[in-house]
Chain A
Amino acid sequence: MYRDKYFFLLPGLVVLIAIIIFPLLFTIRVSFSSWDVFQPGLDYIGGRNFARVFEDTRFWESLLRLSVLSVSSVLLQYVIGFALALAVWREIRFRRFFRVLFLVPMMTTPVVMSVIWRTIFHESLGPANDILQAIGLGTVPWLSTGTAAFISVLIVEVWQWTPFMFLLLLAGLVSLPREPYLAAAIDGAGPIRTFLQVTFPLMAPITIGAIIIRLIEASKIMETVYVMTSGGPGTATETSSYYIYIRGLRDFQIGYSAALSLTYLVIMIISLTIIAKVLARMLLPREG
């Protein structure tokens, strides 16, 4: 009768393995071939593609750019998202209105909103410069200089994804137990001490989970970049995914892009594991 358990697990597992394992194995195999637009086919050239990856400064620069972009955007999202969640956690006026509003951006399609943001950052016709001028700050060449384009992408990422952080943290706050707060109130702790000694430690596991989830999603950034800047100007906003996309699906260097993908995937998994461990050590109380 406990054969029944396979009825539950197997359908999903088989489908996922079928859809995921083949592409992964295929990518590994292709990464050892010279498959490109001139010679499509699975020859074997050993580790030559990987040797090329190590010398490809454009790839490593894109990875550095991605790290800066994803870490800074996730930190901003965390700080803002936590502040917003705390603000609408307890009874305040228009609480439900704010909560709904703060969730809205994560429901919208990133590429579609990027199309809108591109018109907002338009240098002569867009409102971003218009508003800056109105408050006397002068204009910014949003999408045509490297730093400004990077900041534009960062702004859009924060707009789009702070709501997700807000949602995870608010769901956590809502589920916190009441007793520690009563104890803190009896001790006469003020709001800042209550936050530092009760709320923040209780939220630590949720904080870690939320930051890791967001880092995973942020590490895939490429759609915003594709629509807003196409990686430019030059390569100023080119992230790893976008660079691999250019090599693979625009230049059709299938073999080389597979090697890039695998290198990228391995680096991603290792660094996320390390970040998770470090966060856990920093925020969770030692056991035993």
Chain B
Amino acid sequence: MRTVYLAIKYLALLLWSSFIVFPFLWALSTSFKDANAITSGATYIPWLQFKPSSQGWASLFSDGSTGINIVDPYINSAVVTISASLIAITLGTLAAYGLSRFEFRAGFIKNNDITFFFISQRIMPPIVLAIPFFLMLKTLGLLDTVYGLILVYVALLLPIAVWVMIDFFGNIPKELDELAMIDGCRPIGAFFRVILPNSTPGLVVAGMFCLIFGWNDFFFAFTLTFTKVQLLPVAIVSLNSSVTPWWSLSAFALISVAPLVLIAFLVENFLSKGSLAGAIR
């Protein structure tokens, strides 16, 4: 009975694992194909089923008219995502700390309402914001620039940072701040000297989520930039609509999702130590 149960469990886990891995393996295999290998139908194993070719990967790293420029989109994506994440985490951490330690009141608005206002921004569908953002950035002269995108991404990521950090600070005992303040610290001093140094787990989790949602956003980059600045997802999708061969597309796709896959290891690490539970809920 127990062996049957275990067999079913491992079979299910293996089945789901293959479903998850399949697109990556397919893309990897496709990236080594040439026109012949693609048009002769679906094949999977190089050497055995088709003759591998390196033209897909070569097209990413050669300049000139045939090459695809992946360096600029890569740098742009990294600059926008990292700067917006840093700004969002800074503002979000301060706000979350304020909301978790002090009482704010403006008429009928209290702490919970302010918290809700921050987090509820995730409900806003991007399409609702796209046109106003477009006109706003046009007025500011920030359309098609890295700065404009950073501004928009801060708004996108701030709710995530606040959400993670409020929960995190909720789990840090208030006695810690009070001890510091008895020692003569003002709240700002207590925050920087005592709380912040103890907040690394929360900050890392917030940072991971900001990186994931920033790096993977497509819609705002798609509607707010055109020719001068191109982020990775936009670069890939614009290739998708033209006659770009599958081998280049697959290689490009793999290379663009690769860095964030590393975050999965980090998340698992936190999960196994049990310290993620307080930070996301």
Contact = CB atoms under 8 A, between A and B. Distances in A.
A135 interface: no
Contacts of B176: none
Interface in B216-271: 216, 218-219, 223, 232-233, 236-237, 240, 246, 249-250, 253, 256-257, 260-261, 263-265, 267-268, 271
Interface in B13-28: 13, 16-17, 19-23, 26-27
Interface string B122-154: 111111111111011000000000000001101
B165 to A, nearest CB: 10
A196 interface: no
A103 B121 contact: no
Contact of B131 (A20, A27, A120, A129): A27
A3 B17 CA distance: 54
A225 B238 CA distance: 15
B223 A175 contact: no
B277 interface: yes
A108 B132 CA distance: 28
Contact of A268 (B125, B131, B155): B125
B250 A119 contact: yes
Interface in A102-153: 102-113, 115-120, 124-127, 129-130
Contacts, number: 253
Q: How would you classify the secondary structure of chain A's contact residues: helix, strand, loop or mixed?
A: helix
A70 to B, nearest CB: 12
Contacts of B155: 15-16, 19-20
Contacts of B22: 120, 127
A223 B233 CA distance: 11
A8 B151 contact: no
B97 interface: yes
Contact of B216 (A11, A20, A109, A129): A109
Contact of A23 (B136, B232, B265): B136
Contacts of B237: 111-112, 115, 226-227
B23 A12 contact: no
Interface residues of B, number: 89
Interface of B: 9, 12-13, 16-17, 19-23, 26-27, 30, 38-39, 41-42, 44, 91-92, 94-95, 97-99, 101-102, 104, 114, 117-118, 121-133, 135-136, 151-152, 154-155, 158-159, 162, 186-188, 191, 212, 215-216, 218-219, 223, 232-233, 236-237, 240, 246, 249-250, 253, 256-257, 260-261, 263-265, 267-268, 271-272, 274, 276-278, 280-281
25 contacts: A5-B104, A5-B187, A8-B99, A12-B162, A13-B114, A19-B155, A26-B132, A27-B128, A87-B12, A98-B13, A99-B271, A101-B17, A103-B267, A107-B212, A109-B257, A109-B260, A110-B216, A115-B240, A115-B249, A116-B26, A116-B250, A119-B26, A222-B219, A241-B126, A245-B130
Interface of A: 1-2, 4-9, 11-13, 15-16, 19-20, 22-24, 26-27, 30, 80, 83-84, 87-88, 92, 96, 98-113, 115-120, 124-127, 129-130, 159, 167-168, 170-172, 174-175, 206, 209, 216-217, 219-220, 222-223, 226-227, 240-241, 244-245, 248-249, 254, 257-258, 261-262, 264-265, 268-269, 272
